[in-house]
Amino acid sequence: MGRGRPGAPRAAAVQGTGGSSAVSKCSAAARGYIQDRFLRLLVGRRRRRAPLIHRGYYIRARAVDHCVQDFLLKTQSHPRTQILSLGAGFDSLYFRLKDMGLLHHTMVYEVDFPNVAHQKAALIKRMEELSSLVGSSEGEGLGVITFSGKDYKLLGVDLSELSQLERVLEEAGLNTEITTLFIAEVVLTYMENSRSDALIQWAAEHFSRACFLLYEQMHPEDPFGHVMQQHFNQLNSTLHSVAQYPDCEAQQKRFLAKGWTECSVMDMNEFFTCCTPEDEQQRVQTLEPFDEYEEWHLKCSHYFVLAASKGMEPSWTPLLPSMRVPHGAVGMAGSVPAVRAMHSDTSGLRRYGHRSVLLKRDVILTTGGFGEEDGQHCRMRNFHVLIKHAGCWKAGCVKKENTDKSWDERLYHTVSRVSNSLALVVGGRTSPSSAGLGMLWLKFHETCNALDTGDITVKLVSLQPAAEPAALRWRHSTTEVMFKGKKYLFVYGGRSALEPVLGDWYFLHAQELSCTGIPVEGPIPESRHSHTACSWKGGVVIAGGLGAAEQPLGSVFFLRELEHGFQWLTVETHPPLIPRYSHTAHVHDGKLLLVGGVWFHTSSVPGITVIDLMSGLCLDYMINVMYQCML
């Protein structure tokens, strides 16, 4: 809910973000994420949002409430306090605090555009459940003070007009000598930086004891940040702050330079991990089916909460975590050049949750995932093939001999090449609330011309083997291992509709698809999904993943073949591997290469990590993308 004033159309667009935000908060409250019975009274329209949106607004509301209630707790001994909510929109903060009995000596002021303030004032007067908490309105609310109660005033004024704002606040009774909390929840970023900076500095200069709570976006420079900015630009609500203040450190320096004496900042991954009780984390994680972990953690890494103060004794420090999540700069050993061989918008390439497998030399098959097909964002139906010829890659779709329901447009499955003409699909899902899918053979003609994408045809054969329960999972790994000269597929980890994380494993005989009991000794790895698994020396190397607490893991294990079975061994890395998940991995010449993925270090995007599997030496490299052989 930003409050810039570059013109009426833009102002209306910014107000629209506030209305959309209120609808999303109301949807999150309806699903139990937020305990708020007042939102439904303030939001006219109802709309069910997706679980990812619910989580995003939950963590936003949690961070704001955490800091506000900490302020009220730390100032209980003060005779009077004030809260000034900038760009409050249709927020219900005052009503929740009043209902909880937390405003015994606190006056709450809310500021927003005049038309928004008048609409909210009319709602309060019309809704007895709201008006009974505020008490009778003093005056008719005809001017900029649209509603005035004993401990609540609603003001209609443009935040970007600082002199007018100052005059209206003085008229409403805001006292610069009383301890005051300023709240700006996704507000200042919509204003021109010169105007938002002036407001931040004005608050520091004019109030002797004050605290400032800011919640906004950051990191505009990475791929997620680019998409984030495009989204708000399309809404005609440009994010101004992110360019000049792109990260936590820049925001902290901003406030200290504008007169605030103390300032702490953390991104929302760190807040959820360090400032949210474990039982509350578990409650939120089980409210509804959820499987968008990558988007959730990326979104949290692009929002921050900031708490600044001046003149407070003792200091106001609501963001002191019980533990720390690393988010500083990652030490890079160098950079690795990467050649982009094709346009990223080549049909069928842009997808996630898919699986690619090398069918034969220079032939890569990609199946499943989520992307764009026939102009719609959906689970991908078509199989995609890349063929390298004369130094360039050609792309195309694979023909299917039978198009029944056996594929089910699955995500997060595995595909294992068994022979030149045979590949096995294990698991995957459609909806995260549905049971995992089973196994499927992909049969290819051995005589197909590997130089022409149009000549590759696949036949889908459904299976119901005795080992089917091993396949009812997704985000798992399926890796070839050898035991006593025989080939097995090692199915490990993942998750299911009933279990958010799995730590079991199965040995599938590659041809018979029957489970074989092979003894395994050694320390059992922590349960995980979205990890990687690579064949090495007859066994398998497991790296990273997401654990039971939805936290990235930094452990590496080697399942080593013994004469009588297998043994789990821990691969100690130095320096320690930065926890990550949803990456890809490859073993080459005794070195494990981890590529991409998601981690909690907000200062950079994961590149390539090289781990020497013999010495444990772990080095990180950036990826520099070059362009070649564009089609």
Q: Is residue 628 scored above 50 in pLDDT?
A: no
Q: Percent of the chain having pLDDT more than 70?
A: 89
At residue 392, the pLDDT reads 84
Q: Cα separations (Å) of 192 from 240, 265, 627? A: 6, 22, 37
Residue 8 has pLDDT above 60, yes or no: no
Q: Which two tokens stand for residue 59?
A: 């963590």
Give the CA angle between residues 27, 33, 37 to the nearest 5°.
Answer: 65
Which range (8-12, 52-56, 228-232, 443-447) has the least confidence? 8-12
| pLDDT for 11 | 60
Examine the pLDDT at 18 and tell me if it is beyond 70: no
Q: Secondary structure of 235-281 in the HEC alphabet?
A: CCCCCCHHHHCCCHHHHHHHHHHCCCCEEEEEEHHHHHHHCCCHHHH
Measured from the Cβ of residue 359, the count of other Cβ atoms closer than 10 Å reads 25
Range of lowest pLDDT (2-16, 102-116, 363-377, 544-558): 2-16
Q: Which residue blocks in 429-503 are alpha helix, DSSP H?
A: none
Q: Is the dihedral of CA 238, 240, 246, 252 positive or negative?
A: negative
Is 539 within 8 Å of 558 (Cβ atoms)? yes
**Residue 465 confidence (pLDDT):** 64
Q: What's this model's pTM, rounded to 2 decimal places?
A: 0.90
What percent of the chain is predicted at pLDDT more than 90?
A: 68
> How many Cβ atoms are within 10 Å of 360's Cβ, its own excluded?
15
Which pLDDT score is estimated for 339?
Answer: 63
Highest-pLDDT range among 154-168, 346-360, 361-375: 154-168
What is the reported pLDDT for 446? 67
Cα 125 from Cα 147, distance rounded (Å): 9
* 220 contacts: CB under 8 Å, gap ≥ 6: 226, 228, 229, 239, 242, 243, 246
- Return the pLDDT at 45: 74
- Whether 512 shows a pLDDT value over 70: the answer reads yes
For the segment 14-29, the average pLDDT, to the nearest whole number, is: 80
With both helix axes pointing from N to C terminus, report the angle between 223-234 and 293-301 in degrees, rounded to the nearest 10: 80
Q: How far is CA 629 from the centre of its chain?
A: 34
Q: What is the pLDDT of residues 197-211, one digit of tens each?
A: 999 999 999 999 999
Give pLDDT, residue 46: 81
Contact indicator for 472, 481 with CB cutoff of 8 Å: no
Helices (H), 85-161: 93-99, 114-126, 128-134
Q: Tens digits of per-residue pLDDT, 438-451?
A: 888 999 876 555 56
Place of tokens 């991954």: 269
Q: Are 585 and 593 in contact (CB under 8 A)?
A: yes
Q: How many CA atoms lie within 13 A of 305 on its CB side?
A: 25
Higher pLDDT, 66 or 421: 66
Q: Cα(422)–Cα(365) distance, rounded to whole angstroms?
A: 12
- Label residue 324 by pLDDT band (50, 70, 90): low
Residue 10: its pLDDT value, please? 53
pLDDT computed for residue 629 by the predictor? 40
Beta bridge partners of 256: none
Q: 217 forms bridges with which residues in the sheet?
A: 303
The region of weakest confidence among 17-21, 284-288, 324-328, 586-590 is: 324-328
Residue with more model confidence, 373 or 282: 282
| Selection from 360, 504, 543 nearest residue 445 by Cα | 360
Helix (H) or strand (E) holding 425: strand 422-426
Q: What is the pLDDT of residues 462-510, one digit of tens each?
A: 877 656 778 899 999 999 999 999 999 999 999 998 899 999 999 998 7
- Summary mean pLDDT of the chain: 89
What is the per-residue pLDDT for 108?
A: 98
- What pairing do the DSSP bridges indicate for beta strands 591-595 and 539-543? unpaired
Range in 217-221, 240-244, 428-432 with the lowest mean pLDDT: 428-432
In this structure, what are the phi and psi dihedrals at residue 61, rounded to the nearest 5 degrees?
-65, -40
Q: pLDDT category, 359, cuts 50, 70, 90?
A: confident
Tens-digit pLDDT profile for residues 153-179: 999 999 999 999 999 999 999 999 999
- Specify whether the backbone of 226 is left (phi greater than 0), alpha (psi in -120 to 50) or beta: alpha
The CA-atom distances, in angstroms, between 565 and each of 27, 136, 486, 504 are: 52, 78, 12, 16
Question: Is the predicted pLDDT of residue 345 greater than 80, yes or no?
Answer: no
Report the distance separating Cα 383 and Cα 409, nearest Å. Answer: 10
**Model pLDDT, residue 346:** 60
pLDDT of residue 382: 86
SS3 for 628? coil
592 has a pLDDT exceeding 50 = yes
pLDDT of residue 147: 94
Task: Kindly indicate the confidence band of residue 191, based on its pLDDT and cuts at 50, 70 and 90.
Answer: very high
In the prediction, which pLDDT does 582 show? 97
The answer to whether 260 and 211 are in contact (CB under 8 A) is no
Confidence of residue 275 (pLDDT cuts 50, 70, 90): very high
pLDDT at position 4 over 90: no
Give 515's strand partners.
Answer: 508
Mean pLDDT, residues 553-562 taken together: 97
Q: What is the pLDDT of residue 135?
A: 81
Per-residue pLDDT, 438 = 85
DSSP codes, 322-337:
SS----SPPPP-EEEE
pLDDT higher than threshold 50 for residue 2: no
Residue 325 pLDDT level (bands cut at 50, 70, 90): low
Question: H/E element holding 183?
Answer: strand 179-185
Name the residue with tokens 């607004």. 57
3-class secondary-structure state, position 354: coil
Query: Could you give phi then psi for residue 470, rounded to 5 degrees?
Result: -65, -20
